[in-house]
């Protein structure tokens, strides 16, 4: 487990993966991929309502996303940044943290490593043990586990490795809003 460097953290947050949790992830050979153009970006059903409910409850929402297609030369960074800004504005996200690296780059921020979560916790004075990480892939769940967060797996039945031990499994972000509110001891 990785701990943030400060010891004065007071509140938790909701960390959300992007593709497959907030927006539709195109499926190729049974595995999710990322949209590369703004016109391909489609917010999933129930996500706007879920984010609004969580924000209304006072919870800070952060997106944490791997975008290796930029390093691979398949996607344009400025376009991905524009997509992230649009999502943040539309969903009321406090920040979108991005790992732009590919798997072999040796960075600390590429999920399943917890670097994005740890960096956000340090810069926003957040408690990782009080936080939740929500993702649709094993990398998201392992990043949350490594950071000490409660984990929620949105299961789409992808043809790939599954997370070993998510705390909660669901089929959509909207479906887990009550569990998230309960985690933070907020009445629904």
69 is catalytic: no
Measure the CA–CA gap between 125 and 131, rounded to whole angstroms. 12
19 is catalytic: yes
Radius of gyration of the chain (CA): 15
**Residues 17, 69, 136, 140: which is the catalytic one?**
17
Q: Residue 44 gets which letter from DSSP?
A: P
**Residues 19, 69, 136, 140: which is the catalytic one?**
19
Measure the CA–CA gap between 165 and 150, rounded to whole angstroms. 10
Measure the CA–CA gap between 27 and 44, rounded to whole angstroms. 14
Task: Provide the token pair at 171.
Answer: 């089929």
Between the two ends of the chain, the Cα-to-Cα distance in Å is 31
Q: Which residues pair with 46 in a beta bridge?
A: none
**Cβ contact 134:62 at 8 Å:** no
Write out the catalytic residue numbers.
Answer: 17, 19
């Amino acid at each position: 487990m990785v701990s943030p460097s400060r010891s004065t953290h007071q509140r938790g947050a909701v960390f959300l993966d992007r593709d497959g949790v907030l927006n539709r992830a195109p499926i190729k050979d049974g595995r999710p991929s990322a949209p590369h153009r703004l016109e391909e970006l489609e917010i999933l059903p129930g996500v706007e309502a879920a984010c609004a409910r969580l924000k209304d409850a006072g919870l800070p929402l952060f997106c944490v996303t791997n975008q290796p297609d930029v390093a691979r030369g398949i996607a344009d960074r400025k376009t991905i940044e524009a997509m992230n800004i649009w999502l943040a504005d539309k969903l009321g996200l406090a920040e979108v943290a991005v790992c732009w690296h590919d798997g072999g780059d040796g960075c600390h921020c590429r999920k399943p490593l917890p670097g994005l979560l740890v960096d956000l916790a340090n810069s926003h004075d957040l408690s990782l043990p009080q936080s939740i990480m929500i993702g649709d892939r094993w990398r998201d769940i392992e990043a949350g586990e490594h950071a000490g967060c409660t984990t929620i797996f949105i299961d789409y039945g992808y043809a790939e490795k599954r997370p070993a031990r998510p705390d909660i499994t669901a089929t959509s972000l909207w479906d887990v809003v009550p569990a998230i509110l309960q985690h933070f001891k907020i009445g629904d």
